[in-house]
Amino acid sequence: GRDEMIKYSIWLREVQTRGEWQEDYAAQRRHPVKQFTVVMDMDGLSSKNMSPALLSVGQEVSRIVQDSYPGYAKRVIFIRSPAIFRFAWNTFKPFIDENMKDKIVFLSGKDYCQELSEFMDPSVLPHEVCPNIGRGEAID
């Protein structure tokens, strides 16, 4: 339900910003993670995912994340976005602050993996995302 989705989103942000992996990263590289890049794979998004209730939860989660975790996102990259995504984006866009909007990138077309290399090393991505480059594991 709604509350579970919101709680999960908060838990996920806590893991991203304060999780054990942060300590491991800092120990290995001798400095903490200051910001991170998020890749959102929109493959499979359809009108079934566009219920008003789900969009409402998404808007609320967006507000919570921006208010509670400002500055953590270096970039948010959307890949493989179907045409229906324009509708979803236009629904969320008014709830995204201007600073965050500047960090959002949309990559489309078959060369999205190559385009990703402008922002990050695509080899760290799961094979499912970049079949010819990715070697990481998908996180469900």
Reported as a single tens digit per residue, the pLDDT across 110-137 is 888 889 889 988 788 888 888 877 565 5
Using alpha carbons only, give the angle 103, 88, 56 rounded to the nearest 5 degrees: 100
For the stretch 78-97, pLDDT in tens is: 999 888 888 888 888 888 88
Which residue segment(s) compose the domain that 68 sits in? 2-108
Domain presence at residue 86: yes
Domain presence at residue 56: yes
Q: What is the pLDDT of residue 136?
A: 53
Domain presence at residue 18: yes
Which CATH number is 59's domain given?
A: 3.40.525.10
31 has pLDDT over 80? yes
Domain presence at residue 69: yes
Domain presence at residue 125: no
Query: Number of folded domains in the chain?
Result: 1
Polymer length in residues for the chain: 140
| In contact, 49 and 11? CB cutoff 8 Å | no
pTM of the predicted structure, to 2 decimals: 0.79
Domain presence at residue 15: yes
Q: What is the pLDDT of residue 140?
A: 47
